[in-house]
Amino acid sequence: MKKNLGVVQAVYPMPVLMVAAYDENGKVNVMNAAWGMICNSDRIALFIDEDHKTTQNLLKTKAFTVSIADKDHMDVADFFGIATGNKMADKFERTGYHAVKSAFVNAPVIEEFPVVMECELAEVTETESMYAIVGKIINTAAEETVLNEKGKVDVMKLNALIFDQFQHGYYVTGEKAGQAWNAGAGLMKS
């Protein structure tokens, strides 16, 4: 029997995404965003507040990067969610992390995170219920250490962080349970 919990953001897993953009002076700002997802074959949607420093920066530069946070960099990823660039001018510098300019868009690539999507601002959607930044993915890059023998990202090597909205924990991806577009194929037969 189910127990009523009230209003809970009961979606699990949620990604731990690092969104980075330059300000008008070329200064790097990074934020932690769990409310993001792929919304088309070459688009990513980020459901983030308009008042974030990173949001304001990417609206000005029309570009940003989205990196997947991993277990090895959990402390800094969490810090990027705790600290705000609106009140902490040296937020990125405090981490000791390194950024290089993307070769594809006017945005920083944070070198420590293993997978990054380099995006152009495609649209901003604002309704009574949401504020969404949609980026067109121009390029995705990954460290060779997280690739399999076919050159694809291996989630077991990636150790991507997953955010748990129920108890506010971080977890990493686990064992493979099945193959997509195959596990339910038997039910297609009459």
Q: Show me where the domains of the chain are located.
A: 14-182
Number of Cβ atoms within 10 Å of the Cβ of 140 = 14
Per-residue pLDDT tens digits for 55-70? 999 999 999 999 999 9
SS3 state of residue 3? coil
Percent of the chain clearing pLDDT 70 (strictly above):
99
- 139 exposure class (CB count in 10 Å sphere: 0-12, 13-18, 19+): middle
Q: 3-class DSSP state for residue 79?
A: helix
How high does pLDDT run on average in the chain? 95
Top-level class of domain 14-182: mainly beta
State the CB neighbour count (10 A cutoff) for residue 99. 18
pTM (predicted TM-score): 0.94
User: Residues near 168 by Cβ (< 8 Å), separated by ≥ 6?
Assistant: none
* Residues in the chain, overall count: 190
Write the pLDDT tens digit of every residue in 7-60: 998 999 999 999 999 999 999 999 999 999 999 999 999 999 999 999 999 999
List the beta strands (DSSP E) in the chain.
Answer: 14-15, 17-22, 28-33, 36-40, 43-46, 63-68, 99-101, 108-110, 115-126, 131-142, 161-164, 169-172
